[in-house]
Chains A and B, each alone.
Chain A
Amino acid sequence: MSENEFSGYKGEALKAIRKAGANIGDLIRIIRNGQVYEGILIPRSEYGDKEHVVIKLKNGYNVGFKITSKTKIEKVGEGVKPSFTPPPPPKQNPELPKVTIISTGGTIASRVDYRTGAVRPALTASDLYSVVPELGEIARIEAKILFSLFSENITPKHWTEIAKTVAEEISKGVNGVVIAHGTDTMGYTAAALSFALQNLPVPVILVGSQRSADRPSSDAATNLIGAVTAASKAPFAEVAVAMHETTSDTTIILHKGTKVRKCHTSRRDTFKSVNSTPIARIKDGKIEMLTQDYRKRNSKNRLVLKPKFNEKVALIKFYPGINPSIIDWFVDNGYKGIILEGTGLGHVGRYCFESIRNAVEHDVIVGMTSQCIWGRVNMNVYNQGRDLQALGVIPLGDMLAETATVKLMWILGQTQNIEEAKKLLKTNIAGEFNPRTIF
């Protein structure tokens, strides 16, 4: 019997369970102070101590008992493994548009094990229909599990995979693609896909959730319904993020993939369009366009797939007293690009200038964004900014630092030519620059 089957238990507790011959899920009896407690043996958190055994009582509550020389554990009966059989998917309406949902993991693509509370990845089509039956009235859904990753574990290599998978689905003629994604780095992936998938014929919608899907209050279902609605019938063919607009369940807002950022650790409306208006809003199943500046849905568009990224790009946030040798380290380790997140209009301390000069001299592309998040850099106002430009630092306007980093990775995945790369960095490719900042 492997250690794993006693998930979480160790030390005294594990010894006692073994002695009783019990397994997770078995009905056991604990005798303590002359009192008898019966319940199902529950897995223990990996970080729990070695002394307690957790059982689920008949009334549904879990309680922990300390194992001492006076505690007795007995196995009473074999556990019944709970199995989840989702109801059969509804009949697909052939009139409806086709949407593929690609799952990469995260809260939205998880199901809770009600017995243990453990969260498991799940996003098969039948799972989806069983949890969100309304989807069957919006589109014919096909579901694919690509990864089961928390989004902090997603890297540029995964962006490449996702982009290729989306392209494949689009080539099959779907009316839209939805990507279920953890919210932590969903903004980065949205930017990456915006550059990797060019001349899109149909929308590509990223969607996540902030409250786990097991809870009745989860935003997962409403967000997913919004995403599928957008994928199936939105008039635009853009990469966008679909999430709650406010704390209410009333509206779903669609943000442009290059202009979106996660701005709150826990709220449902964590994603904000920065330096741009959102593309559209969905209310009561209807799509309301908020801008006229979008690529139109057109099945005749031929998708151009450019899925390569070069990971040798760093994002460095300036702070008072930063050690500039951090910049040197990246240069020494073969990095080709550095995005600085400077202060205010785009500045870093004069004590970093030497390292920046060194980077530029080693053909490293250095771009400047602002840690203010909102607004655009302007490096002509102060001497410091003018001097930085003279060193070769490229001001990146109102582009988000995260988007700039992703963009430079993508550019260096397309070309080795420094001058061409610099030109591309300054060119508006996927709406990452907005020439006007509206109040």
Chain B
Amino acid sequence: MEVNYEKLGLKVGLEIHQQLDTSTKLFCNCKPQLFKGEPEITFLRRLRPTQSELGQVDPAAYFEFQKGLKILYEANSETSCLVEMDEEPPHPLNMEAVETVLTVALMMNAELVDEIHVMRKTVIDGSNTTGFQRTCIIAMNGEIKVGEKTVPIQTICLEEDAARKTGREGNLIRYRIDRLGIPLIEVTTAPVIHSPKEAEETALTIGKILRATGKVKRGLGTIRQDLNISIENGALIEIKGVQELELLPLVVKYEVQRQLNLIKISEELKKIGVKEEDVKEEFFDVTEVFRNTNCKVIRKALSQNKIVLALKLPKFKGFLKRELVPNFRLGTEMADYARFWGKVGGIFHTDELPAYGITKEEVEALRRKVKTENQDAIVLVADSPENAKDALKAVAERARQAIRGVPEETRAANPDGTTRYMRPRPGAARMYPETDIPPIKITKELLEKIKTALPELPEQKLKRLIEKYGLNMKLANQIMDSEYAELFEIIVKETKVQPTTVAVFLTETMKALKREGVQIEKVSKDKIMEMFRLLGKGELFKEAMQEIFVWLSKHEKESVQNAIKALNLKALSKEELEKIINDTIRSNEKIVKENKAKAFGLIMGIVMKEVRGKADASTVSQLIRQKLSEHP
């Protein structure tokens, strides 16, 4: 069914975050890279929600704190210092990063601030060792062209990336702080996007501008898209962490679908007369019902002296199994609430029972014990009394919201385009100044420097690539999006190699090699340049390029010359080639004498087999013809 998004009042705003490719982090001199393997340093912290001047505490954060949440940070000494550990004040703002953001701001025609003030934005989920993220506005009120449409850019910020979560065991969350402090640019659009497709196109356009600076990181995990989505009669939902651009339209589509289905459920619940006050926080200990159960989850819980607690949801029968988006039901939403607020593994509900080893008899006993009518639903949790109670309280709250409509939430994106409940939407961003960093003036001199080196806008560049180098549209687009865009122009300028040959190698060949599992990033741009130089001088043949490249990717420290030597792929001199041809003709004397025309194919085959990658085919065939004709 075609959805008319305009009519639904769909409004989407995008927040695009991309890591900048600087030589050091934003507030210290650590390398902005991640590490693999075991951490050298670990330390344990708690983050305490602080009260604002208005006496407000972020309720979700405070809840986690009260539950005794602890954070185990992992670090190594190459990628983190005392600054990331929150054991030393931040160093001054990295000007390399500021310059890149200013470049983007000018490309988006934004108004620059005159003085940058770094702020602290309270974040106490543990992803920042300090309990806040450092961020600053560099420009406002810009705009970009997306097709024919002008999309306003509200803010362009520079901020520090957060630590990355590496695990959670009960009340202990693990974070690795290598990523903490990597500079991020954040571009925020106005909520003027009205369809899933437009969301993707807008993100694509922003991405192209960012890449045009040549100063952003590439690859998975270096870019993250957040969205805020609302439809009429729905709610404003923040969706965090969409990593793949291609997923954006699907995320928007699913979110609209989810909100529409929630609105429908709310209407139906109201119609059958369910009221919020009917959902009571009355919990029934039904442990005895399951004393001899075959349900593994419950049996395991009971063996740990936990209990089974039940909650009645009046007239909810059938609603919990309602699918909101593929494989995602109202019951799933409730389970996510239970997990977040109760720290339980999950819930059972009567819409899906009997199943999971729970029998029909047990369901009947349960219904008797909780005294439900047939149209009621029951939700079960097997955990410690405290957790079970918290979980069911959250389920009850979610049920009441279902009567009301769509609750405002912050949700996290799943890899399949659906989303899951993350936390309630935080109140107004609690920001206060980072007093450890003095304000930075954007001087005339700095601006002039950036203006003179401003990169071309993507559409201008595309035009130039096609006109100047004779590339077709597809190839020009590919080279522009590739990280070798700059290298391409240098190679073409400094060697005599055909631009199309260079472009094909840098895009299609590279992509194919990558698909085959070749680690293309292990071959430096200098080495690629060297290969093309040799190709231009005729010391290397096109056919040899791929093999040499693959060898270099496996031998990171070796030179191009060594690769050629190791693979025996040096271009043959005319004399060497002639000798091979003569030898081949001689050892096939008989056939040559019988039939020269037939012999050509044979000789060509044998010689090419021997010289592949060391000589080019047209030279070989020309020489063979010549030798054959000279042959008596």
Contacts and interface: CB of A to CB of B under 8 A. Distances in A.
A63 B137 contact: yes
10 contacts: A57-B137, A61-B135, A61-B137, A62-B433, A64-B113, A112-B432, A215-B131, A216-B50, A250-B44, A266-B89
A64 B439 contact: yes
Contacts of B114: 52, 64-66
Interface in B21-72: 43-55
Interface in A60-102: 60-66, 82-87
A416 B119 CA distance: 56
A267 B46 contact: no
Interface of A: 32-33, 35, 37, 42, 45, 47-49, 52, 54, 57, 59-66, 82-87, 112-119, 130-131, 210-211, 213-218, 221-222, 246-250, 265-268
Nearest to B87: A267
A131 B429 contact: no
B244 interface: no
Nearest to B138: A63
Contacts of A215: 50, 86, 120, 130-132
A369 to B, nearest CB: 29
Contact of B141 (A35, A59, A210, A265): A35
Nearest to A58: B428
B429 A60 contact: yes
* 3 nearest A-B residue pairs (beta carbon): A64-B115, A216-B131, A117-B433
A70 B380 CA distance: 67
Interface string B196-226: 0000000000000000000000000000000
A114 B117 contact: no
A37 B111 CA distance: 11
Contact of B432 (A57, A114, A265): A114
Interface string B114-136: 11110111101000011110011
Contact of A60 (B48, B54, B116, B430): B430
Contacts of B85: 247
Which of B47, B432, B441 counts the most A-chain CB atoms under 10 A from its CB?
B432
A117 B136 CA distance: 15
A217 B433 contact: no
B65 to A, nearest CB: 9
Contacts of B51: 84, 86, 130-131
A63 B113 contact: yes
A214 B50 contact: yes
A247 B54 CA distance: 31
B601 interface: no
A324 B380 CA distance: 83
B45 A248 contact: yes
A115 B89 contact: no
A116 B428 CA distance: 17
A45 B51 CA distance: 24
B466 interface: no
Contacts of A116: 432-433
B477 interface: no
A114 B52 CA distance: 7
B117 A63 contact: yes
Interface in B247-302: none
Contacts of B345: none
A289 B110 CA distance: 62
A84 B53 contact: yes
Nearest to B113: A63
A52 B120 CA distance: 21
Nearest to A251: B44
A337 to B, nearest CB: 37
Contacts of B130: 211, 215-217
A131 B117 contact: no
Contacts of A130: 51
Interface of B: 43-55, 82, 85-89, 111, 113-117, 119-122, 124, 129-132, 135-137, 140-141, 155, 157, 428-435, 438-439, 441
A117 B45 CA distance: 24
Nearest to B136: A61
B177 to A, nearest CB: 12
Contacts of A35: 111, 140-141
A37 B45 CA distance: 40
B46 A249 contact: yes
Given A62-B119, A84-B55, A266 B82 contact: yes
A248 B135 CA distance: 26
B544 to A, nearest CB: 54
A83 B117 contact: no
Given A48-B439, A246-B43, A217 B86 contact: yes
A83 B51 CA distance: 12
A217 B141 contact: no
A65 B124 CA distance: 31
Given A35-B141, A45-B438, A267-B82, A249 B87 contact: no
Contacts of B430: 60, 114
Nearest to B55: A85
B573 to A, nearest CB: 66
Nearest to A44: B439
B80 to A, nearest CB: 12
A106 B46 CA distance: 22
Nearest to A67: B114
A60 B121 contact: yes
B5 to A, nearest CB: 27
Contacts of A65: 113-115
A66 B115 contact: yes
Contacts of A49: 441
Contacts of B140: 35, 37, 63
Which of B85, B86, B111 counts the most A-chain CB atoms under 10 A from its CB?
B86
A283 to B, nearest CB: 12
Contacts of B136: 61
Contacts of B86: 211, 215, 217
A211 B131 CA distance: 11
Contacts of A265: 88
Nearest to A267: B87
A4 B566 CA distance: 77
Contacts of A115: 53, 432
Given A217-B86, A217-B130, A60 B119 contact: yes
Contacts of A217: 45, 47-48, 86, 129-131
A57 B154 CA distance: 12
Contacts of A62: 117, 119, 431, 433
B53 A83 contact: yes
A216 B124 contact: yes
A89 B119 CA distance: 31
B517 to A, nearest CB: 41
Contacts of A61: 117, 119, 135-137, 155, 157, 431
Contacts of B132: 215-216
A60 B88 contact: no
A214 B432 contact: yes
Contacts of A210: 87
B218 to A, nearest CB: 28
B433 to A, nearest CB: 3
B236 to A, nearest CB: 15
Nearest to B70: A249
A64 B117 contact: yes
A222 B48 CA distance: 10
Nearest to A81: B53
Nearest to A34: B111
Contacts of A85: 55
A112 B120 CA distance: 12
A60 B428 contact: yes
Contacts of A33: 111
Contacts of B53: 82-84, 113-115
Contacts of A119: 435
Nearest to A47: B438
B117 A247 contact: no
Contact of A63 (B87, B115, B435, B438): B115
Given A37-B140, A63-B116, A214-B50, 20 more contacts: A35-B140, A45-B438, A48-B439, A60-B430, A61-B157, A65-B114, A86-B51, A114-B53, A116-B433, A117-B434, A131-B50, A131-B51, A211-B130, A216-B50, A216-B132, A217-B45, A222-B46, A248-B44, A266-B88, A267-B88
